[in-house]
Chain A
Amino acid sequence: MPDADSHPRVAIQSRVLKVLLVEDDASAAELMEDVFAPHTDSVQLDIIPNADQLFTLLQTPGSSLPDAVLLNLHLEGRPALEVLADLKRDPVLRRLPVVVLSGTDDPTEVARAYQGHASAVLVKSSGMDVLQARINAFVDFWRYSRLPG
């Protein structure tokens, strides 16, 4: 990056944020599509239903990586924290911010996710208005954040 860019005038991302949601529950995935719908100008939301497809997608040569992964903590089959650990062990994929979506604010689960290097833990329970506010804040924050190359 040239020195001339070391003091950017505009910190907000001008490009579309690519968010990859790993969610095996179809109705939960639909709900997330609904709350991301107001942000279609700034966010591209892709959804995959399980961890195996996540790794297939991310490890396909030439495929472009998402800017952030939203990972459901309560996936059927492979535990989400194992998925997180695998991502964080990979020399390339470890840079991806992984925000864990939890149905509970149980402090043990929250701490485990952070200890596994989740970027953040977002609780998806509560009413629709609360979830919408959380997703709005998620989008806003990540648009102001600089993402890994």
Chain B
Amino acid sequence: MPDTVPAVHTLSMGRPLRVLLVDDAPTDRELTREAFTGHKRAVIIDTCANGERALSFLHAPDTTLPDVILLDLNMPGLTGFDVLAQLKDHPRLRAIPVVILSSSSDTGDIDRAYSLHASSYLIKDVDFQRFIEQIDAFVNYWVRNCTPVRLRKLN
């Protein structure tokens, strides 16, 4: 959506969107980073290679919390569902919106993610050009939404 991209740089929040990407597969993390290339000025991406690291990162006192989390489901150790459940059970971190980014189109997985209060569920398209379109839609949506940017001050 090249026509909508320029507007991304005039964010209502006046700063780049901060995204935390949680995915155990290095090639998938790289691919997702690449899909965000068109939004370099509008998005800052932090990455964690598994669920445990993501939770440590989010709990660390010096972490700048993300506006939105992009979370893989199928990970060794803590799965995406485990991470989602722990986040949504935490009094402070529960307010961070979590978008699932998975290759699973299993309706059970989709329903479970929404039941655990995922904000939405994206199925990674195997066609990279279409995956870029998904990421464009993700960015254009979240830069226009309000996220709990002053979360820490409330707790």
Residues of A within 8 A of B (CB): 1, 5-12, 88, 94-97, 102, 105, 107-108, 110-111, 114-115, 117, 119-123, 126, 130, 133-134, 136-138, 140-149
Contact = CB atoms under 8 A, between A and B. Distances in A.
Given A107-B148, A119-B119, A133-B4, 5 more contacts: A107-B149, A107-B150, A108-B154, A121-B145, A144-B137
Contacts of B12: 105, 123, 126, 130
Interface string B89-127: 001001111000001111110110011010111111111
B104 to A, nearest CB: 6
Contact of A148 (B95, B104, B111, B127): B111
Contacts of A117: 88, 94, 117
B133 A144 contact: yes
B1 interface: yes
A94 to B, nearest CB: 6
Contacts of B103: 6-7
A10 B88 CA distance: 30
B interface: dominant SS = mixed
Chain B contact residues (Cβ within 8 angstroms of A): what range?
35 or more
Contacts of A126: 12
Interface of B: 1, 4, 7, 12, 88, 91, 94-97, 103-108, 110-111, 114-115, 117, 119-127, 130-131, 133-134, 137-138, 140-142, 144-151, 153-154
B134 A114 contact: no
A149 B107 contact: yes
B4 A137 contact: yes
Given A8-B123, A122-B145, A141-B141, A88 B117 contact: yes
Contacts of B151: 111
Contacts of B105: 1, 5-6, 8, 146
A126 B140 CA distance: 17
A117 B90 CA distance: 12
A141 B114 contact: no
B97 A114 contact: yes
B96 to A, nearest CB: 7
Contacts of A147: 110, 121
